[in-house]
Amino acid sequence: MTAEARGIVAIIEPADGPAGALTAEVLGVARRLGNDLNEPVTAVVLGETVAEVGPLWEFGADKVIRVVHPLLAEFNLDAALGALEPLIRRENPNVVLMAHTFQGRALGPALAFRLQTGVATDCVDLRPGAGGGSLVLTRSILGGNFRAEVVIDTRPQIVTLRPKAFPPAEPTPGRTGTVEEFRPEPDPVRVRQEVRRRIQEAAAEGVRLEDARIVVAGGRGLGGPENWHLVEELASALGAAVGASRAVTDAGWVPTSLQIGLTGKTISPDLYIAVGISGAVQHMAGVSAAKTIVAINKDPDATIFRYARFGVVGDAKQILPALTREIKKALGKA
């Protein structure tokens, strides 16, 4: 008989750092589950980029496992699978959590199939099942028009969590735990992909879209790349980050790294200004954590107004320059 699967494993996103927002969210969920199910929480860190483990303990990890191998210096799916498969088999956890980032999108399903278990991707909510049974996992389907509550009958239950959908862990200063190293030997024959280069397209300076307090985003309604400067000017007057709908990134007006939504980034600004964006559910999936939405759209029946706190019906090409001027005036920049 196999031993009962026990424990919550949280896979930490190396790029996010030990005290990053995603780390706090994933460990927040892990800690709450650990408390509810009375199971230990283990944070797994791929590679050596995360030097400090203190914040992981403070966010709720009882144990930190650093997985050390030269191939894990940056995310390589084959190497990550080769490293995590033996580790997860050894740990035999009940639940494996990770953020639904571009790493989690690749790793979650692949790890599940490698371990012959089930996975629920992009979950927006979860709770322990009745009587300690499988977790009840809430996913959005049909872009966000519907929600599904699903359960995973196999172990471990692998879950990718939508960024910004869960409250971050509150650090407990001085909380400590244990730390160990795991040195995997991924089968070189199964490492058949190699990351040759990383090309950064998002601006290296300025606020990251994910962290911005104010975001101005443009959609197809801008009419063409020649009008994109109107979005940038408003953003710069506000000190905001710039985002886009998929229609715009798909058309190549701006890089994919600006895409907000189900298959792009999840943001949580205090103020989100959507210009010429229709408000498709897949776009809104990325902004459900925004506190206040302002929509500018020439169609009074546009779906975006269903989500907006403030709406302006009008032509973006006329409204934006006037709004930029007013903002500059108001903020004393004119």
Partner 1 sequence: MNIVVCIKYVPDWEAPASQFRIEDSRLVPAPGIAYRISDTDDEAIEAALQLKEKHGGRVTAISLGPASARDGLKHALAMGCDQAVLLDDPAFEDSDAAGTAAVLAAAIRKLGDVDLILTGRQAADWDQGQVHAGIAEFLGLPAVIPARHIEWTGSEFIVHRIYEEGYEEIAVKPPCVVACSNEIAEPRYPTLRGIMAASRAQIPVWTAADLGIDPGRVGRAGRRTRVLRLYAPQVEAKCEFIEGENPEEIAAKLVQRLREEKLL
| Residues 100-129 interacting with ligand FAD (rule: CB under 6 A) | none
Contacts with partner 1 by CB under 8 A: the residue count is: 88
Q: For residues 220-259, which are near ligand FAD according to CB under 6 A?
A: 220-221, 223, 245-248, 259
Q: Which is nearer to partner 1, 169 or 302 (CB)?
A: 302
Does position 117 interact with partner 1 (CB under 8 A)? The reply is yes
Does position 298 interact with partner 1 (CB under 8 A)? The reply is no
Question: Tokens in use for 59?
Answer: 């966010």
Secondary structure (H, E, C), 209-271:
HHHCCEEEEECHHHCCHHHHHHHHHHHHHHCCEEEECHHHHHCCCCCHHHEECCCCECCCCCE
Does position 264 interact with ligand FAD (CB under 6 A)? The reply is yes
Q: Which is nearer to ligand FAD, 54 or 255 (CB)?
A: 255
Nearest to 212 by CA among 322, 304, 291: 291
Q: Please, what is the minimum distance in Å from the beta carbon of residue 24 to partner 1?
A: 17
In angstroms, the CA 202 to CA 225 distance is 17
User: Residues 218, 228: contact at Cβ < 8 Å?
Assistant: yes
3-class DSSP state of 18: coil
Does position 256 interact with partner 1 (CB under 8 A)? The reply is yes
Query: Which of the choices partner 1, ligand FAD, none does residue 261 contact, using the CB cut-off of 5 to 8 A by kind?
Result: ligand FAD
In angstroms, the CA 73 to CA 70 distance is 6
Residue from the set 21, 68, 73, 136 that interacts with partner 1 by CB under 8 A: 136
Chain residues binding ligand FAD by CB under 6 A are: 143, 219-221, 223, 245-248, 259-264, 276-278, 280, 282-283, 286, 296-299, 302, 315-317
